Amino acid sequence: MSSGNSREQISIVPVNSIDASFLTRLGLCLEERFLAPFLVRAPVRMPKTALNGVRGQLFAGALVARLATSYPPKEGYVLGITDYDLYKTSARYIFGEGDPVTRIALVSRHRLSPDFYGEQPDENVLFQRTLKEAVRSIGHAFGLHNCLNQRCAMHHADSIFETDNRLSHLCDGCEKRARAQRS
Ligand SMILES: [Zn+2]
């Protein structure tokens, strides 16, 4: 942890169990986009009893707190990936979020899976959507804001249609801002 670069690593932390090859593939794509090395870390355990009993969802703040305890911010950026459905005080559900203060980003695969919408399960669609949400959430943790460019990964998405319409890359403007954050 002596060089400045090591602070920028992205720790990918599964909640409970997520397929290891999925996480490695995700990490390689994030490494390419953010020029930050990734590390797949040991999972954090969140039992079903951690869910809000009425909503059947996990409070995003509870997951952030859990990740911050297991992986303190000084070790770089943290991306938590969960299959639980996430919600916030201000939102009925979220695909993901990221915070530049905690440097913690989250992505829920719950509403990214085609079977959630009554379609056939498709690993590749699930992966592409997860990648887009991961880029946006980590982008926020890097200090990037919502982008007006509808094709940019930082464009705000409320629906799966908007997610599908975006690319998994940053636009030139966001790319420049991300570079400025790193230097
Ligand atoms: Zn952009």
The tens digit of pLDDT for each residue in 14-66 reads 999 999 999 999 999 999 999 899 999 999 999 999 999 999 999 999 999 99
Q: Which amino acid is at 31?
A: E
* CATH classification code of 4-182: 3.40.390.10
Q: What separation in Å is there between the alpha carbon of 157 and the centre of ligand 1?
A: 13
List the chain domain ranges: 4-182
The tens digit of pLDDT for each residue in 113-141 reads 999 999 999 999 999 999 999 999 999 99
Q: What global pTM score does this model have?
A: 0.93
Q: What separation in Å is there between the alpha carbon of 30 and the centre of ligand 1?
A: 16
Cα dihedral sign, 15-19-24-27? negative
Burial (CB < 10 A; 0-12, 13-18, 19+), residue 75, is: middle
Q: What separation in Å is there between the alpha carbon of 1 and the centre of ligand 1?
A: 31
Q: Nearest-CA neighbor of 80 among 100, 91, 101, 65?
A: 65
> Which band of pLDDT confidence, cut at 50, 70 and 90, is reported for residue 2?
very low
